[in-house]
Structures are given as C-alpha cells and as structure tokens.
Amino acid sequence: MSFLAIAIGNTRIKAVIFGSKKQILEEYAYTHEQLPNLEAKLATRDFERIAIASVVPNIITSWHHLQQTQIITTADVPLQGLYSTMGCDRALAAYGAGETYGYPVMVIDAGTAITITGIDAHKNLFGGAIVAGLRSQFACLHQNTAALPNLPIPETLPRRWATDTHSAIQSGVAHLLIAGLQSYIDDWRSQFPHSQVIITGGDRDRLVKWGLKVDMIEKNLVFLGIMALP
C-alpha cells in the first residue's frame, strides 16, 4: 500500500511516503511558497491513502479533496485531555513519541514556536508550554526595537557574558532558552524518572549541540504519530 502523509507547519510543508511495512521510503520538505514544487514532484503518483495534518488552514493542496484523503485534527489523536486549540502537529508528535518509545513521555518540538508536551503513563495530557522559537526570538527583537539588528542564529553556544550588542543578543536568546527548557526537563524527570525526553523540529540538533540534555532526537515524530493512528 502506498501512503502519503503531509504535515503543513508554520514555516514548512513536509511530506513522507510510507511503504507497505510502515517504513518511510521518501521524505520531502518545502517552504509554503514551494508547495507547487511538491505537487509537481508527486503529480504522477497514485496513493491508496493520504493523510494531511495542518496548522495553517488557508493552505490547500491538490490532495485535500481527494476521496482517499483524511484531514487529521487534534480530535483524531487518541490521547486524553487534549484541548481543542492544541495544534494537531503537537498532538501527533506526542502520540508518535509515546506509541514508539513508550509512556510517559515528554516531547520538545523546536520549530517556529517551541512547544513542550508531557503525556503521562495513562496517555493523559499532563501539561506543557509554548515559547517563541529561535528564529522568532531573534526576529522579534529586531522588529520591535529601533536599533537592534536581525542576527543569524549562532552555530555554537555563545559566551554567556557578552561585551558587544550582537553577542549580547545571541547570548541572551541562547542561554535563557536552554536554561528554561532544561528546567522543564529537570522538573519532568523529577516526576517521571523513567520517562523518555525526546526532541524534534528544525532546531533540534542545534539545541542539543548547545547542551540541552534529552534522551533522543527524532525528526519524524509527527509522521510516526500519523502512522500510529487507529
């Protein structure tokens, strides 16, 4: 069976093709503006099943209205206590993590926004948090001040005590974010000492490189969640 799964996030559109044994055969990633490229790439392919999970309602693909397409919402994710405004990508990532690596589980999704989601041993939402992602934090400082520049994200963790404006921005964003995330991880582990802490999202590798202490990096949690749906 050929199965196409699409995840439309705040910044990018990702797609994977699953094989008959639920293994990922192909992966694609495009910006929103590049959606026609993805559609052209797969235009000649026939899929027995298609699933779309989106947090951007106004982006409609050529697959949305096909008979074999399922539009996934948060209500379709079989976890308890999920609230109606929770993004379906966040719910799917938590479900994919739990079904793949076991419950309880904590998921950090480091994308345009950084989300933290904890699911207990009984598949109930324990709670979580949302904060602006790395690129969003740098852009926000630039857009909301008169003199601060829009800086790139540093590859390595900056010095904590900066002596110029550029370094001070990079240090503040990086160190405060890592410290805050680590505080959530430490608190989670104090309550669920045998739980896995898993990170996903576009900035996952960078945060781990900066010293964030997680148990596992998994880039395809949303798609694992889609594949695990009953």
> CATH code at 27?
3.30.420.40
Residues 58 and 86 reside in one and the same domain: no
pLDDT in tens, 199-209: 999 999 999 99
Total domain count for the chain? 2
Active site residue 120: no
Show which of 19, 54, 72 is a domain's final residue: 72
Q: Is the pLDDT of residue 111 over 90?
A: yes
d(CA 72, CA 60): 14
Q: What is the sign of the dihedral through the CA atoms of 141, 147, 150 and 155?
A: negative
Pair 153, 169: CB distance under 8 Å = no
Residues 135 and 194 reside in one and the same domain: yes
Q: Which two tokens stand for residue 33?
A: 């503006």
Confidence label for 2 from pLDDT (cuts 50, 70 and 90): confident
Residues 64 and 105 reside in one and the same domain: no
Residues 63 and 109 reside in one and the same domain: no
Q: Which two tokens stand for residue 50?
A: 């298609």
Q: Is the pLDDT of residue 1 over 70?
A: no
pLDDT at res. 22: 82
Catalytic site residue from 89, 109, 120, 203: 89
Report the SS3 class of residue 129: strand
Show which of 26, 42, 72 is a domain's final residue: 72
Q: Which domain holds residue 197?
A: 78-230
Residues 61 and 157 reside in one and the same domain: no
Show which of 17, 43, 72 is a domain's final residue: 72
Residues 13 and 28 reside in one and the same domain: yes
Residues 96 and 68 reside in one and the same domain: no
pTM of the model: 0.93
Mean pLDDT of the chain: 95
Nearest to 142 by CA among 165, 110, 159: 165
pLDDT in tens, 20-59: 778 899 999 999 999 999 999 999 999 999 999 999 999 9
